[in-house]
Structure 1
Amino acid sequence: MPRGDQLTAADYRSLGDFRYQIRRFLHFSEEAAKAEGLEPQQHQMLLAIRALDEPGGPTVGSLAEHLIIRHHSAVGLIDRLVERGLVERVRGQEDRRQVRVRLTSEGEGKLRRLSTIHREELRSSGRMLVETLGGLLST
């Protein structure tokens, strides 16, 4: 991109293409979650629990921060996942006041299936996302 405020038609095209590729992947992800019987936010929470990989499971606070949502929103999301048997709350080992969240075996299975198809999607169409980003970074 040219220095300063000057943007070319190619810059706008690259930015638009990049946003399109992101939205395309997010749409795929939302539909995949729904096909597994999950809301997209529930899938994101399952993935965050697994990705954070904290000893004993992540805290509600760290999950809220990771998902960029308010603490009470994370609590509500976790409540719904607990009701479905996909996650469980456990008291912290060192601080019994602390609540940690872990995937159940059913939650692990759903997340594994979703993660497998997401990886396959990225392997097939992720190249375009990388190429578009590369074009943006090189100008």
Structure 2
Amino acid sequence: MEDEVDRLVAAWRRERPDLDVEPLEVLSRVSRLARHLDRARRLAFAEHNLEPWEFDVLTSLRRAGAPYQLSPGQLLTQTLVTSGTMTNRIDRLAKKGLVERLPDPSDRRGVLVRLTAEGRDRADQA
């Protein structure tokens, strides 16, 4: 059974026989599958009024176990975003009442991000 990727690869083979288009057979399918999964994920989280990035941060904190808190640096490692992006995300989640910032008792300059009861409920429901 031929699919869109088969047609795409055949067209490239016809138009550019000098190119090795074999990697497209896998990469194009993986890319298309990722888009389908992302769409399904967004729909699932929308039912709980969450964006995928919100779910990622909330579940990182939830997986940490009680008291459900991590440093911003630990959140960066788990979610693979930049520090500026993480700061923005923490700000937005705090504004929604899903996380709170607390002073880090082991570092006067540091903060910890803790999941609120509402944030924990949302993560568990989603």
* TM-score of the superposed pair, with normalisation by structure 1: 0.64
Whole-Å Cα distance in 1 between the matches of residues 66 and 112 of structure 2?
9
Is the counterpart of residue 47 in structure 1 residue 56 in structure 2?
A: no
Correspondence list, 1:114-129, <5 A: 114=126
Question: What whole-Å deviation, never above 9, does each CA across 1:83-107 have from its counterpart, x for those lacking one?
Answer: 1111111222222321111111111
Closer/same/farther in 2, CA of residues 92 and 54 from structure 1, 3 Å limit: farther
How far 1:77 moved relative to its partner? Answer: 1.0
The root-mean-square deviation of aligned C-alpha atoms, in Å, is 2.4
Tell me which of 42, 45, 63 is aligned to 1:30: 42
Q: Which moved more, 1:11-20 or 1:81-90?
A: 11-20
Secondary structure (helix, strand or coil) at the match of 1:97 reads strand
Whole-Å Cα distance in 1 between the matches of residues 76 and 112 of structure 2?
12
Correspondence list, 1:56-71, <5 A: 57-71=69-83
Larger Rg: 2
1:22 maps to a residue whose letter is A
- Using the aligned pairs only, state the percent identity: 27
1:29 maps to a residue whose letter is R
Tell me which of 85, 92, 115 is aligned to 1:103: 115
Gaps of 5+ in 1: 115-139
2:35 maps to a residue whose letter is R
1:109 maps to a residue whose letter is D
Tell me which of 96, 99, 106 is aligned to 1:94: 106
Whole-Å Cα distance in 2 between the matches of residues 95 and 46 of structure 1?
23
1:36 maps to a residue whose letter is H
Which has more helix, going by share of residues?
1
Question: What whole-Å deviation, never above 9, does each CA across 1:14-48 have from its counterpart, x for those lacking one?
Answer: 33222222222111111222222122221221122
Higher-RCO chain (CA-CA 8 Å, sequence separation at least 6) = 1
Whole-Å Cα distance in 2 between the matches of residues 101 and 77 of structure 1?
11
Count the aligned residue pairs: 107
* TM-score of the superposed pair, with normalisation by structure 2: 0.69
